[in-house]
Chain A
């Protein structure tokens, strides 16, 4: 099938939400630097944050090739309603249980997304997905190791993990909020779509969490992020992120 304007718009929508997700979760993960429960976790969260920010940069570069503005301008000058990230990534780091459950659920979704995108007909995206998949494998391992250890650690840590899962789950379901071009991007094999991704994710995370003795909450997805409706946490995050850049966007920093 030939690529029409709507297919390209679908591709741009997909790239924006992925790039924004990576940028915002990377920003949040970097906030653990200096504050982790053990030094090794400051270092681990920083590594993951660097990968995420690097991935978002690569995706913004793909967007730039498709005619969008340069990565710095796009990342550092938009307001919250122009962002397409899911609300999961916007939430503050909270306590370690929240951050680690978010990290696993988000990264498992991304790992599967990249795996699916390796077969994308849009070759630049397939290429970066192959690269990202190698990086994110370790993020998933990190999340699983911690969740298992803490869910099976002691009574307190088990309870905290269940509480975090209850809190994160509806936000995580929001990752799969559908965009306006799901049909278009799947019919030309750019991406099989959010529904397909979600079912693969459920097949992966549910058995793992249950094997750790955690109960899967019954809750509805928190959506809106993909369409510019965000939690109250995003705009303050952006104000902070862009504070220096906006002193003079034309200056070289």
Chain B
């Protein structure tokens, strides 16, 4: 799943160059990016570039591992062999993505352990959608279809980014996500065309997930200088609003095709502008959830903390100190 290039507008950078950084090197760096080169772990890069990438990749990795929790609870309940096997493989993929992504972030100089610690203390964020509960089996289907679809929109854009290990990891991730999306769609089709009870389950799940999905791409972009430089450095590849439009354009017709409705009476495509019009989701709720006040924030972190604590003796027994991982898996 689930990257999100959301940039916290309160982030403070002291200019684009850190003290001691050479403007000539910056010019060379920017020329390489403009020419479509990939930046590799041992290449020179501005501290701001490194910092923003670590934050983005780390958030993405956390989102994969936390995202495995709401869906993971349905592995043990999946109805029938076919769904059980498929959901196990799907959630396993998500954990595998976390592994790839932590590794990509490690190539920038932050250890997996430090990243996990920052997740547990709340210093580092993960995608907001995973702070909502997957109430029924149908929620897991809607997540697999539409959240993964939203993630693909975001990740396809970011896979064209300038940092080599992240961009290659995203290529692999997108290939797997496209299977998840097919799995999720197939699952939703069975529910939407099934018994009245199944149809009701899936409609209710869609109603619950619509606002988190609209939140997924982040608030409308402010025209900040940070956004501009990060887009020039190909760290952020598209605006939040553009990605939201792409998603709506691809998936709202498919939702309607299944006879399902979207809980927004204003949602329609304006044929003149080619843009989708919709009710702005409540961005205050978004902020509240990011800041830890969503329905499942505490539970998600508590589960992660428990897993970390229970596994500590294992890691202590096997991990070699001072091991560095500078070679990217992708």
User: What is A's interface to B at a CB cutoff of 8 Å?
Assistant: 27, 30-31, 33-43, 46-47, 49-50, 53-54, 57, 71-72, 75-76, 95-96, 149-150, 153-154, 156-157, 160, 237, 240-241, 243-245, 247-248, 251-253
Contact = CB atoms under 8 A, between A and B. Distances in A.
Given A37-B307, A50-B88, 12 more contacts: A33-B88, A41-B314, A42-B68, A43-B95, A46-B89, A54-B85, A72-B81, A76-B80, A95-B310, A96-B314, A150-B317, A157-B314
B-side binding surface: helix, strand, loop or mixed? helix
Contact of B91 (A33, A54, A76): A33
Contacts of B81: 53, 57, 71-72, 75
B316 A38 contact: no
Contacts of A248: 195, 197-198
20 contacts: A33-B72, A34-B91, A35-B303, A35-B307, A39-B98, A42-B68, A42-B92, A43-B96, A53-B81, A53-B85, A53-B88, A75-B81, A76-B80, A96-B311, A153-B316, A156-B317, A237-B76, A247-B79, A251-B194, A253-B79
Contacts of B194: 251-253
B190 interface: yes
A37 B311 contact: yes
Nearest to A72: B80
A251 B195 contact: yes
B314 A150 contact: yes
B95 A153 contact: no
A42 B68 CA distance: 10
Contacts of B79: 76, 244-245, 247, 253
Contacts of A247: 79, 197
Contacts of B78: 244
A228 B264 CA distance: 53
Contact of B137 (A30, A149, A244, A252): A244
Given A30-B76, A50-B85, A243-B77, A251 B317 contact: no
Q: Taking each of B76, B89, B96, B312, which has the highest tally of chain A beta carbons within 10 Å of its own beta carbon?
A: B76
B178 interface: no
B69 interface: yes
For the complex of A and B, list the 9 residue pairs with the smallest distance between their C-beta atoms, beginning with the closest.
A37-B311, A153-B317, A157-B317, A37-B314, A46-B92, A253-B79, A245-B79, A244-B79, A34-B68
B65 A39 contact: yes
Contacts of A245: 79-80
Most central of B68, B198, B314, B315 by chain A CB within 10 Å:
B314
Contact of B310 (A27, A33, A96, A154): A96
Nearest to B84: A53
B247 interface: no
Nearest to A100: B314
A244 B317 contact: no
A30 to B, nearest CB: 5
Given A30-B76, A46-B92, A38 B315 contact: yes
B75 interface: yes
Contacts of B95: 33-34, 39, 42-43, 46
Given A39-B99, A50-B92, A31 B76 contact: yes
Given A50-B89, A57-B81, A247-B197, A27 B76 contact: yes
Contacts of A40: 99
A149 B318 CA distance: 7
A76 B84 CA distance: 11
Contacts of A57: 81, 85
Contacts of B312: 37
A118 B194 CA distance: 42
A57 B68 CA distance: 25
B126 interface: no
B315 A37 contact: yes
Nearest to A31: B76
A157 B303 CA distance: 23
B287 interface: no
A244 B95 CA distance: 24
A86 B220 CA distance: 57
B256 interface: no
A40 B84 CA distance: 21
A157 B81 CA distance: 36
A229 B296 CA distance: 39
B76 A34 contact: no
Given A39-B98, A244-B79, A247-B197, A253 B190 contact: yes
Nearest to B76: A240
B93 to A, nearest CB: 9
